[in-house]
Amino acid sequence: MNNVSNLTSSSSTIKPTPYRVQNYLVIWVDGNIDQASQDCQNTMAELRSIVKEVNVCTTSAQCIEILDDLDDEKAFVISSGALGQRLVPDIHRMPQLDTIYIFCSNKAWHEQWAKQWPKIQGIFTSITPICDSLKLINCEKNTFTFMDYYLSKLPGVGRFTGPRHFQILKNYAPSLTLFGAAALIYCLYITDWKVTNTRIPIYGRKFDEMKRVAMIDKHGQKAVDEGTASDD
């Protein structure tokens, strides 16, 4: 029996959700995983509700093989402490690897060596905070996807990605959250572009345009075009 298990959600057991992270997968590496146990099955069900695909490995070599085979996908690796200490140096520089979670019972011991590896999110003795972290990343990825979608529909504004525009917005509104930025971009999308375009030469004015977006008032009215009236 192959020790590498590929587990994807089934429509009969896990209700499909549009909020799962797309093009991301989880690799769970632990030589002592018992997939027949109820605890393991519960953990797998929770992970599958967050990411599209979960792979279970019992050796470091199996994990490396999966990472090597990835093309456009990114991976979150959940590793036991014992395997992780040997595995992390071999995979840390791989571009396919996004984040590493060390899942073990001896947190203090493994925190010492884990400090030198930036991709390690932390040492966890429970699967719950790991799942919470994955959910947060899920929200961020979907928010950027949302931003990219609406930015692509704005005349002359869709050249950059959601993350790039978010940083531009932060320059003008440092306290702006990611979700607030998404809301601002959506508000911009639903405004009357036939009116706003007569006053704003968008091409070559990307930074000024994003500043205008950040000026949308708290009542949800149209953004204030700061400093462009003289250009009419």
> Looking at the predicted structure, is the pLDDT value of residue 217 above 60?
no
Least confident of 54-68, 74-88, 134-148: 134-148
- Give the mean pLDDT of the chain: 69
What is the topology classification, in CATH, of domain 5-140?
A: Rossmann fold (3.40.50)
HEC per residue, 14-27: CCCCCCCEEEEEEE
Q: What is the mean pLDDT of residues 65-80?
A: 91
* Predicted local distance difference test score (pLDDT) of residue 92: 96
Q: Where are the domains of the chain?
A: 5-140, 152-231
pLDDT band with cut points at 50, 70 and 90 for residue 117: very high
DSSP 225: -
pTM for this entry: 0.58
pLDDT at position 42: 87
Give the pLDDT band (50/70/90) at residue 101.
very high
Burial 13-23 (b: 16+ CB within 10 A, else e): eeeeeeebbee
In degrees, to the nearest 5, what angle opens at C-alpha 96 toward C-alphas 52 and 18? 20
DSSP 117-145: -TTEEEEESSHHHHHHHHHHHHHHHHHHH
Task: Give the side-chain half-sphere CA count within 13 A for 146.
Answer: 20
Task: Please say whether the beta carbons of 41 and 96 come within 8 A.
Answer: no
Residue 218's pLDDT band, with cuts at 50, 70 and 90, is: very low
3-state secondary structure of 97: strand
- Tokens describing residue 229: 């009236």
Q: What is the mean pLDDT of residues 97-122?
A: 92
- Identify the CA nearest to 185 among candidates 81, 161, 37: 161
Partners of 55 in the β-ladder: 6, 27
How does pLDDT run across 136-193, given as a tens digit for each residue? 776 656 555 655 655 555 555 555 555 555 555 555 445 555 555 555 555 555 554 4
